[in-house]
Amino acid sequence: MTYNVQVKVMPLKELLDPQGKAVMGGLDNLGLKGIEDVRVGKNISLQVNAGNEAEAKKLAEEATKKLLANPVMEYFEIAIN
């Protein structure tokens, strides 16, 4: 069966996020008030062929650790839809 797995990869909270800061600046320039903080990360959508949900999640986790996320700068969350 094919599972739709969503991997969210975000910059660690301890680190500066220059892209997020740039977006904040852009929002200010557009006059959009009320947004206090922005952080920009990646969302990766995987179609995983596996026997069950747990297997699909394990495969997605392996792929994320080996290729998609850099643990020095990023944390990740995996969700199955």
Backbone angles phi, psi at 76, to 5 degrees: -135, 155
* Positive or negative torsion for Cα 23, 37, 39, 12: positive
Binding site for a second copy (CB under 8 A): 2, 8-10, 20, 23, 26-27, 30, 32, 34-50, 59-60, 62-63, 66-68
With beta carbons less than 8 A apart as the criterion, state whether 68 and 7 touch: yes
Q: Indicate the helix (H) or strand (E) that contains 50.
A: none
Q: How far is the CB of 72 from a second copy (least distance, A)?
A: 18
Backbone angles phi, psi at 46, to 5 degrees: -115, 135
Query: Please, what is the minimum distance in Å from the beta carbon of residue 34 to a second copy?
Result: 5
Q: How far is the CB of 15 from a second copy (least distance, A)?
A: 14
